[in-house]
């Protein structure tokens, strides 16, 4: 059973900010995105910066309100209709871990205060004594010492701060963790430690994860299924093993090639030169897309790619699979 479903989510932002900003020009951040996450499953959202990954994740917890679409929790409850008490209870079950722990942890609080500041007002608050015991236990679970509860976040390294962020997410016993680029700001050796910690936690607690990343190979290591996003759309969705072995969309192939010590722009240029085609700029979607979102960068694009909008379709032979391989491309 799906623990959470995003159904046709759309979100646009006004292009200009400020009190005197003109209204009517928009950034189309999320364009008709749908996916589901099963119990004890890790679903990855992967793509370059600005593709809409974080906006999609924040729509799930209603940091932003979508313009269209719905979010279903346990297949029955539309999160977007929840009011104060219901929304608070939902957010106890779905916790968000931010990319930069230096900014998401209050430097004036002790680690214990950081862990229980939200817990204290939840429906599960067990009292001060039990909460301190739970906090000490969770600190050990994430590889920290109970004595660290009395210290402040600034006294720790980046990797240790991220462990504290994970502990804060776990203390309410959630059923879904949203991990927003949780390893992107860390050294490579520390990244592996945090990923292995999350895998251990998933095994012990039977948690589901939404894992947001820009490194496709890291996502293939950590996730069960992956959705590749570009300009607010899902371009390809498949199991991590299938995607690693037979990525089909030109953009997914670009992301894989960029891991080999190249930026996506360099990998794009090399791909385009081989095809006699040059276009590497990532354009902000300020108008609704008429054609394929990737057409301007795709070395395989023709006139039909610019005029027609491809659907995210199931590959032939995959129709009977629970989670079929899907791709949004005329050329596949």
* DSSP string computed for 166-235: HHHHHTT--SEEEEESTTTTS-HHHHHHHHHHHHHHHHHHT-EEEEEES-HHHHHHH-SEEEEEETTEEE
User: Is the pLDDT score of 63 beyond 80?
Assistant: yes
* Residue 117 in domain: no
Domain assignment present for 87: yes
Question: Number of folded domains in the chain?
Answer: 1
pLDDT(13) > 70:
yes
> What is the pLDDT at residue 277?
40
List strand residue ranges (DSSP E) for the chain, in order: 2-14, 26-38, 42-46, 68-73, 77-78, 94-97, 176-180, 208-213, 225-230, 233-239, 313-314, 326-327
Whether 295 is covered by a domain: the verdict is yes
133 found inside a domain? no
Least confident of 128-132, 239-243, 253-257: 253-257
Mean pLDDT throughout 131-158?
95
Structure tokens at 152: 């402040």
**Residue 146 placed within a domain:** no
- Between 132 and 273, the more confident residue is 132
Percent of the chain with pLDDT over 90: 66
Residue with tokens 């093993």: 241
In tens, the pLDDT along 160-189 reads 999 999 999 999 999 999 999 998 878 888
Residue 290 lies in a domain: yes
Contact in structure between 89 and 62 (CB atoms under 8 Å)? no
- 7 within domain boundaries: yes
Query: Does 251 reside within a domain?
Result: yes
Query: Which CATH number fits the domain that encloses residue 242?
Result: 3.40.50.300
Checking if the pLDDT of 115 tops 60, the result is yes
CA pair distance 144, 312, nearest whole angstrom = 44
Reference 162, options 96, 210, 117, 98; nearest CA is 98
Q: Which domain holds residue 25?
A: 2-106+176-194+204-327
Q: Does the pLDDT at position 267 exceed 70? A: no
Q: What is the pLDDT of residue 270?
A: 55
């Amino acid at each position: 059973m799906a623990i959470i479903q995003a159904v046709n989510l759309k979100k646009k932002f006004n292009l200009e900010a400020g009190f005197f900003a003109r209204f009517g020009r928009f950034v189309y951040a999320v364009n008709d995105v749908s996916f589901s996450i099963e119990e004890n499953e890790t679903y990855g959202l992967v793509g370059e910066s600005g593709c809409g990954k974080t906006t999609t994740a924040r729509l799930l917890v209603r940091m932003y309100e979508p313009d269209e679409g719905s979010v279903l929790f346990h297949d029955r409850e539309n999160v977007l209709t929840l009011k104060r008490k219901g929304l608070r209870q939902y957010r106890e079950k779905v916790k968000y871990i931010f990319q930069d722990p230096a900014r998401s942890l209050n430097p004036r609080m002790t680690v214990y205060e950081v862990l229980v500041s939200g817990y204290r007002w939840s429906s599960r608050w067990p009292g001060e004594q039990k909460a301190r015991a739970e906090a000490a236990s969770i600190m050990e679970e994430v590889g920290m010492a109970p004595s660290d509860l009395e210290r402040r976040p600034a006294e720790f390294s980046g990797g240790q701060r991220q462990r504290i962020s994970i502990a804060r997410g776990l203390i309410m016993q959630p059923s879904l963790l949203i991990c927003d680029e949780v390893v992107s700001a860390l050294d490579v050796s520390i990244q592996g430690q945090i990923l292995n910690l999350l895998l251990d936690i998933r095994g012990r607690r039977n948690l589901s994860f939404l894992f947001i990343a820009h490194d496709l190979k890291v996502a293939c290591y950590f996730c069960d299924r992956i959705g590749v996003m570009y300009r607010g759309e899902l371009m390809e969705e498949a199991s991590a093993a299938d995607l690693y072995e037979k990525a089909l969309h030109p953009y997914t192939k670009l992301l894989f090639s960029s891991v080999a010590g190249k930026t996506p722009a360099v990998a794009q240029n090399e791909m385009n030169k081989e095809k006699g085609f040059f276009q590497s700029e990532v354009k902000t979607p300020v108008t609704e897309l008429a054609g394929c979102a990737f057409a301007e960068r795709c070395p395989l694009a023709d006139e039909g790619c610019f005029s027609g909008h491809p659907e995210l379709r199931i590959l032939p032979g995959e129709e009977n699979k629970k989670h079929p391989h899907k791709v949004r491309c005329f050329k596949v």
